[in-house]
Amino acid sequence: MRWRRGDYGGENGDGFSGIDKLWLTIINHQNKTMTQKHGQQKTLTRSKPFYSLAEVKQLVKEGRVAIRGNTRNTALVDFGWTANDIIVAIQKLKVIHFYKSEPSNLIENCMIDYYKAELNEESVYIHFYVRENRLVINSFKKL
pLDDT, tens digit, 9 for 90 and up, residues 13-32: 444 555 555 555 555 544 44
Q: How far apart are CA 135 and CA 130, in angstroms?
A: 5
pLDDT for position 19: 53
User: In the predicted model, is pLDDT for residue 3 greater than 90?
Assistant: no
Asked if residue 66 lies in contact with residue 134, where contact means CB atoms within 8 angstroms, the answer is yes
Q: Per-residue confidence at 47, pLDDT binned at 50, 70, 90? A: confident
**Selected residue with higher pLDDT from 129 and 16:** 129
pLDDT tens sequence across 90-119 = 999 999 999 999 999 988 889 999 999 999
C-alpha–C-alpha distance, residues 75 and 92, integer Å: 16
| CB 105, CB 27: distance < 8 Å | no
* CATH number at 45-142: 3.30.2310.40
Is residue 58 scored above 90 in pLDDT?
yes
Instruction: Look up residue 49 and give its DSSP letter.
Output: -
What element of type H or E holds 33?
Answer: helix 18-38
Is pLDDT of 34 > 90? no
Query: pTM for this one?
Result: 0.69
